[in-house]
Amino acid sequence: MSETASEISKIADAGRRSRRSLLDDPRLRAILLQALLLIVVAGLGWALFENVRANLASRNIASGFGFFDVTAGFAIGQTLIPYAESSTYGRAFVVGLLNTLLVSGIGIVLTTVLGFLIGVARLSRNALLSRLAGAYVEVVRNLPLLFQILFWYLAVLGTMPGPRQSLSIPGGVYLNNRGIMLPKPLFGAGSGAILIAFLAGCALAWMLSLWARRRRAAGKTVATGWITLALVIAPPAAAFVLAGAPISFERPELTGFNFSGGLRILPEFLALLVALVTYTAAYIAEIVRAGILAIPRGQAEAAYSLGLRRAPTLRLVVLPQAMRVIVPPLTSQYLNLTKNSSLAAAIGYPDFFYVFAGTTLNQTGQAIEIIAITMAVYLLISLLTSAAMNVYNRRLALQER
């Protein structure tokens, strides 16, 4: 009897030891904890889904994405594609998205140029230029972006003269409180050949830059600036002449109390673009300044000893190395600019957020679907921007030999 009890005790001890050994395994314990967390999250998600479904059913609120095919019934001030009040909500979605991509794309280009110029100016030996750049950064960075948007819209563009007293700029350009009136290009037969010639010139310029980069890597000096400019300009210019000048311009004309013809840029677009560019450029300037200061001083001194002047040293020696430090935080500023464009609703610019998450949501009541789509769109734009910048950053990375 005692032998049987000791055997049972040994078996029980062996079971407890095996259980302890399983729980002592870090990998197995991590898997069990993750599985438990997944079950809890899935349960909470299902409970939330059921709660939302029951609430929608009790209030007789329709769900789904069928509203995309319903007539929108509202006008949009700026459209890059044909749109009318009889168009669908799906069409309005595309119009708003294109407007957001337009202001974000132009804003990223302009704020990059302005930010780099100010960042370099902050390190200038000219005391006046350096202090002016520093004052710009300190003032603009410490003012709310929404305030700056309203400033440009109300205090600057809103005080412009009316159409009859428009400020005239040479070239058929007029500036007033209704925006900027520009000559509108009209493309005739043969315009496609000019576009093809321009793309071909850009391709040749890109191939030339690759060849020049390999030559420089081999220690040989290659000057390609003027050749690149000629390759971009000469082919489309030649195609323009050979095609018989198929591109003409429609100038805006004052008829009554407003302008007709030409191309009009809305004051809302201008105010939003200027505010986004100037605000984001202040942050980019500090990123550029920090990137340049991160490069050892010996790099510039070595370039000076070889006879290079300050400007070529900055362009050919310092900035290429500083870009490895600049690009990661620069990506964050690009994402911030794109997301900050949603503040356009404050001045009525029809961007994606204003058109879709504002007007469309108010008219359809499809809050869950529209908010989910809005989140997905901004997330997708951010991921694509980050992916493009990551590809560029990998190209700048040091290659081990």
User: Which tokens go with 104?
Assistant: 């974000």
pLDDT reading at 397 higher than 60: yes
Residue 26: its pLDDT value, please?
Answer: 78
**Number of residues that this document lists for the chain:** 401
pLDDT reading at 133 higher than 90: yes
pLDDT above 70 covers what percent of the chain?
Answer: 91
Residue 273: its pLDDT value, please?
Answer: 94
Closest CA to 181 of 79, 253, 285, 91: 253
Burial of 363 (C-beta count, 10 Å sphere; 0-12/13-18/19+) = middle
Residue 196: its pLDDT value, please?
Answer: 87
List, for residues 254-291, the tens digit of each pLDDT value.
887 788 888 888 899 999 999 999 999 999 999 999 99
User: Distance between CA 139 and CA 116 in Å, rounded?
Assistant: 17
pLDDT reading at 189 higher than 80: no
pLDDT reading at 18 higher than 70: no
pLDDT reading at 338 higher than 60: yes
- Are 284 and 111 a contacting pair, CB within 8 Å? yes
| Confidence tier at 11 by pLDDT (50, 70, 90) | low
User: Distance between CA 242 and CA 197 in Å, rounded?
Assistant: 12
| Confidence tier at 167 by pLDDT (50, 70, 90) | confident
Query: Mean pLDDT, to the nearest integer, of 156-175?
Result: 85
| Confidence tier at 197 by pLDDT (50, 70, 90) | confident
User: Which tokens go with 399?
Assistant: 């290659």
pLDDT reading at 172 higher than 70: yes
Residue 314: its pLDDT value, please?
Answer: 81
User: Which tokens go with 333?
Assistant: 């500023």
Residues 6 or more apart whose Cβ sits within 8 Å of residue 285: 115, 116, 118, 119, 122, 133, 136, 137
List, for residues 309-331, the tens digit of each pLDDT value.
877 788 778 888 888 889 999 99
- Are 356 and 96 a contacting pair, CB within 8 Å? yes
Query: Mean pLDDT, to the nearest integer, of 341-347?
Result: 92
* CA dihedral of residues 265, 267, 273, 277 (deg, nearest 10): 120
